[in-house]
Amino acid sequence: MKTDDLIAALARESGSEYRRNWARDLSLTLLAGLAVAALLVLIGLHVRADIGVALTPVLLKAAFSAAAAAALLPLVARLMRPGRPLGWRVTAAALLLCLCGLAALVALAGEAPGQRMQAWTGGGFPWCLVMIPLLAAPCAALLVWLMRAFAPTRLTLTGASVGALSGAVGAMAYSMHCPVDSIAFVGTWYALAIAICAAIGALLGAKLLRW
Q: Residue 109: its pLDDT value, please? A: 77
Contact in structure between 138 and 165 (CB atoms under 8 Å): no
Does 209 or 127 have the greater pLDDT score?
127
Q: Give the chain's mean pLDDT.
A: 84
Contact in structure between 25 and 18 (CB atoms under 8 Å): yes
Does 12 or 78 have the greater pLDDT score?
78
The pTM score is 0.84
Q: Which amino acid is at 131?
A: M
Mean pLDDT of 171-193: 92
Tell me the CA distances in angstroms from 104 to 34, 63, 72, 82, one per residue in order: 26, 16, 20, 36
Does 13 or 207 have the greater pLDDT score?
207
